[in-house]
Amino acid sequence: MKIVVCVKQVPEGNVRLDPETNNLCREGVGAVINPYDLHALEEAVRLKEEHSCTVTVISMGPPQAEDVLRESLARGADHGYLICDRAFAGSDTLATTYTLSRAIEKIGGADLILCGKLAIDGDTAQVGPELASWLGIPHVAAVRKVVLTAADRKFTVERMMDDGYEEVEVEYPALFTVVREINKPRFSSLKGKMRAKKADIPVLTSKDIEADDRYVGLRGSPTWVSGVFAPEQPDSRGRRIEGTAEEQASDLAEILSPLI
Ligand code: FAD
């Protein structure tokens, strides 16, 4: 079974926005694997240990995103590919997922694709479902448990709901986005780190994945950031209403009426 894990490099700590360009300020900020993706990777490595699987990690990003691929190899992945090209600059989630889908097809497809539930910087949670849609495969979001029955080519998964969980059976190929509750990611071993250091990480460009220019980068992005602002902080000082019960009720009604 071939498992592909999508990992994103995200800024470490709080994300700041440049008010002029509306872009993330990445200068001087450390970068790490998106925390949810560590859980996706751990689940892939766990399945590899129980069944006969290969685990491939892919990341679309700038050249320095290679670091998260090496870390993934140190944590048990077998292969890594960096999807990197200036043509991908300005990609929204639709263009990003088109590009990821082309890359997955180019490296031979996958029986299972694992993503995090969301990325802590972009925070849309759109990549998993959109990627499944480009590939024409089923997806289940917010998965907290995965059981593989290889003989029947199917997974039984538990997906988290607001008031409990739902059990879903799905034949593969399929895509799951995972939540933190699914497992506890292991640390990388010394042997893993040594292997990761020497590993070859091929870079896939737009040409390599035979992408259609109309669907990548800015041209392939039907959404745009028209403005960015910090939400107004609510006034938390409180206000004391005094007077008789009638006066208090009347004051309260006046305060609340614009909100109704
Ligand atoms: P989510 O959907 O929240 O992530 C869910 C999961 O998908 C992750 O846990 C991970 O498993 C997987 N995943 C997400 N992103 C990747 C990835 N890149 N590689 C592998 N797996 C991934 N970003 C830029 O860096 N530069 C830009 O110039 C840029 N321009 C943009 C322009 C527009 C108009 C918009 C709307 C967005 C732009 N972005 C840009 C943001 C970029 O589109 C998103 O970061 C990206 O699509 C992922 O979305 P997300 O962070 O919400 O991921």
List the Cα angle 178/66/206 in 5-degree steps.
90
Residue 120's pLDDT is 93
Residue 234: predicted pLDDT? 77
Give me the pLDDT at residue 30, please: 87
| Cβ atoms of 251 and 40 closer than 8 Å | no
Instruction: Please enumerate in sequence order all residues whose Cβ is within 8 A of that of 228, keeping only pairs 6 or more positions apart, or say none.
Output: 17, 19, 22
Ligand 1 centroid vs 52 CA: distance in angstroms? Answer: 31
Strand segments, DSSP code E, in the chain are 2-6, 9-11, 31-33, 54-60, 79-83, 112-116, 139-149, 154-161, 164-171, 174-178, 203-204
The torsion angle over the Cα atoms of residues 122, 124, 125 and 130, rounded to 10 degrees, is: -110
Helix (H, G, I), strand (E, B) or coil at 5: strand
The amino acid that residue 51 corresponds to is H
Q: How far apart are the CA of 80 and the centre of ligand 1, in A?
A: 18
Give me the residue label for tokens 């309260």. 252
- The predicted model scores a pTM of 0.89
- Whether the ω angle into residue 173 lies within 30 degrees of 0, i.e. cis, is yes
Cα distance between residue 22 and residue 164, in whole Å: 38
Closest CA to 174 of 116, 133, 118: 133
Distance CA 5, CA 199 (A): 17
Residue 56 main-chain phi, psi, to 5 deg:
-115, 130
Residue 260 has a pLDDT of 74
DSSP summary character for residue 155: E
Token readout for 107 is: 């490296």
List phi, psi (to 5°) of 207.
-65, -45
CA of 107 to the centre of ligand 1 (A): 21
Q: Are strands 54-60 and 2-6 parallel, antiparallel or unpaired?
A: parallel
Whole-number pLDDT of residue 61: 96
Q: If you measure from the C-alpha of residue 117 to the centroid of ligand 1, how many angstroms do you get, rounded to a whole number?
A: 12
Atom of ligand 1 nearest to the CA of 224: 34
Distances (CA, A) of 169 to 140, 154, 217: 10, 7, 35
Which residue has the CA at smallest separation from atom 41 of ligand 1?
92
Nearest atom in ligand 1 to 223's CA:
34
Please list the pLDDT of the chain residue by residue as tens digits (260 residues): 999 999 999 998 776 777 777 677 777 778 999 999 999 999 999 999 999 899 999 999 999 999 999 999 999 999 999 999 999 999 999 999 999 999 999 999 999 999 999 999 988 999 999 999 999 999 999 999 999 998 888 999 999 999 999 999 999 999 999 999 999 999 999 999 999 999 999 999 999 999 999 999 999 999 988 877 777 777 778 889 999 999 999 999 998 998 77
